[in-house]
Structure 1
Amino acid sequence: MPLQSRHFTQPKRNAQLEQCLVSDPAHVTPGSQGDHVSLIQQSLNKLRDLPGGEDFRLTVSGRYDPETSAAVLEFKTKRNIVAPQRQNKAANVVGRMTIAALDEEMLALEQRQSAGKVDIRPPHGSLRGECDMNGFSRRRLARHGDSGNWTLISDKVPVHQMIPLGLTRTLRLSYDAPGDLQLVSDDPTIALVVDLQREAGADRRYLATILGRRAGTTDLAYFVGGIRRGLIRIPVRARSSFHLNAVYLGPSSSVDDFKGYAMNVFNWINLILTPQTNLLCLPITIRVEPRISYRGGPTFAIDPDRPLFILKNAEQPPPGEQAVTWRDLERFHQTTGVTLFYGRNLRALDESTVGENLNGTRLCWAPLRSRVGLSHRALVVRGAHEILHALGAEHIVTGENDNYVMTWAPTPKSWIIPSETLIDI
């Protein structure tokens, strides 16, 4: 009989594991590499969601390393998986009996989980959107391709799973299986469930209040009717902060109309970014620089009605156009935070908005006009997008990304910052 679980057969069957099920020479042994090894590692990790299952927590590397070898041996020893007439004890290889046993347990897990999905959402607030069970992993994006629709790859939970250190976050959990809900932290020194109660007037819906006790990541296991259904991974983050220095590149006579832009970027960051990441933008300074130098030469008055090209240091400006390099901008930078340069006609040679971390500094720029006619709110979001670049965040490219601040082209809907995009800050 071929493999049956969705884990081993969807989105497609793995030929090496199917062969392993029927052929002794196709055994998977230490030193093997490939997608079939990744599937084995993932299945071993999933065992903890079964009653009495092992908690291996293997790194899914696709390499049959010593850690994987030890986990396979423990799995087989516990179940007395021994080849008759050839062995008197379990071996650290995945053969016919082992892959069949893993497939059987994955099928049992899938049947249990399909009986009761748990949906986690906040009871209030402006945070929106969803991400996968592990946050939003760049490693996972690379594995499935930048254009992949990640929402179809695994179960989803909302992105706002960050718990501020020393504070609480309340989540709404709803489910469709019979029985009461239980929620247990695997490490209560990191996060503790301080309250779990039915929501008034709602059937099979609970409000869970989680306290962040120590910076780190914890797994909350949820049980329905005494059966473990799965895990919610929640990071607890300590408060960190940065100072924002906004520099308007243009004549003083035209800055009044644009001072509000910098304040709106500042307010937007603290309204949206801080609740999702516990990163606080400190009060800003707003400066006006009507004159600037090019490659350290004499200063010139900035003409706001002509493009001002922001060049990477080796680039050359179009003939006759005003320009400035990143090195020219460095002298305006305050090393305690991020410096945002903005103006009416800032451009790059490729006509894109650019945010960079230059030589260890945190500089970025954003235009106040767009050829595609972006609204003022979209321009504010774009400014915040560039600030996040300067803090170390990278672009996200997926099939469904309209809500994400770190898309290539942020829009007014870009409110969500998946947790792992800020891992380098």
Structure 2
Amino acid sequence: MSDLFSAAGLEKDVPGPLADRLRPRRLDEVAGQEHLLGPEGALTRLVAAGSLGSLIFWGPPGTGKTTVARLLANETKLAFVQISAIFSGVAELKKVFEEARARRRLGQGSLLFVDEIHRFNRAQQDSFLPVMEDGTVTLIGATTENPSFELNAALLSRARVLVFHALSEEAIEKLLARAEAIEGRPLPLDEEARITLRRMADGDGRAALTLAEEVWRAAREGEIFSPATLVQVAQRRAPIYDKAQEGHYNLISALHKAVRGSDPNAALYYLARMFEGGEDRLFIARRVVRMAVEDIGLADPQALLIANAAKDAYDFLGSPEGELAIAEAVVYVATAPKSNAVYRAFKQATALAKEHGSLMPPKIILNAPTKLMKNEGYGSGYRYDHDEPDAFSGQDYWPEILGPQTIYEPTSRGFEREINKRLDYWARLRKERNG
């Protein structure tokens, strides 16, 4: 159908999206990727050398990955072929490879750009290896996901990963200025609304231009939008956050480390980011419980109770009220005294148990339910602690081969100060009573 419109000369009268009309025609027009395209940029050096090699472009949406790939094909005189892993299967890949081989026989190289390459399965990714190795295609794969997790090691070993950054507000502003120049009119925004629009774009150049188009369409004659009006008109674009992929892991890691670092303000910020991105609230609540046991431990035994209570409160209340319970728990664990003494002690105890296998406990602490066991000395000499002075016998409970070990060493923070006092007291009694 598109070809029919083109043949009739009608398609040229239909204005395309602003993002397409502003698509750079040269590499030096690409905004926000100076580390790749500046005078000393990695891609600038590759183009100057006249050989690209296969590449993986990793970065968020709207940062110019497709545009740069197309312009690189022009710079290196390669035929540009674009496919998407979302819509392509094995049959289309075979066809693309055969066409590339035919071009190669005629002396024409091919730059194959694969969008969303991480969506291909392992076997499909492996199918690129032969045509990369024999030079049939120069592969450029684009992905928004961490290649280390999503791409085969064999594919990664044959390609260089280049990172595209989210556009800064300065780069977004340059795009908006170019849009105004092409449209021949300013955006109907006051200064604060313009700042809001740049932030709403969330580092995505395409999103910024789409928002600009929405503003021009919605504004009445002479109207200037405030931030509140802009948010209402644009219906607030959702944050770039894939709760099943890297954004999920990045933000939960940031939240956990902010709590561990006793920064409640940063912790609340990352919590809000995850809420805004639609993260599963119970996933967050479970992680807060983990923080309580892993990073606070017995320095504040209340932390685990509060974290569990927040999970139960969210289960009972749901959104949005239940989210406040999770926020309260996050602030509590962020401001609680920290100790990973039990965490370290448990790891050490586990290692000790694995190393020494099935050692028999001392017979004094074994029950003797049969006469034979009693005759063998099971339970003989056991002293019931509650009948001892201070409810403490001080007996040795360790396997004879190991002897007493010190595994748990409480800190001097929070409630563990009290635990330290008790352990010191019992150590003195044990020494006195056992010589």
Which TM-score applies when normalising by structure 2?
Answer: 0.25
1 or 2, which has the higher strand percentage?
A: 1
Structure with bigger gyration radius: 2
